[in-house]
Structure 1
């Protein structure tokens, strides 16, 4: 996308008619390029109550915080949580 690096995580801050404004982690705002909507995904952020021992299924290929590969369909067992969650 124009001016937005791959794998960026942005927060939608405003929606007006055909304009969607997003903000990055540094507080910089910009308009989302809707003409390139086939190049990005939008998700709803919410808490997911999980506990040690739960099994979760990955539903999209990607990477975790340590850049380890996550494959669609993988089942992972929650070992526990760090102080950061």
Structure 2
């Protein structure tokens, strides 16, 4: 899992993701388009991933995605 957009898809797409984290699906679509999930949603995202058995979504993986999005780590393609 290399992007926040992939996280949203792994949790069922914008509609299911939005319902899980408590935002309208229009906002979830915006998060996906921006490839960004604000940190205040991470606890719910990790909890939902655990419920669905999506082992690749962890606090660490979200933090790495965030750091890459800010240019603090190389992208997986560059590694």
Decide: shared fold, TM above 0.5: no
TM-score (norm 1): 0.27
TM-score, normalised to structure 2, is 0.28
- Larger gyration radius, structure 1 or structure 2: 1
Q: Which has the higher strand share?
A: 1
| Structure holding more helix per residue | 2
Higher relative contact order (CA 8 A, sep 6+): 2
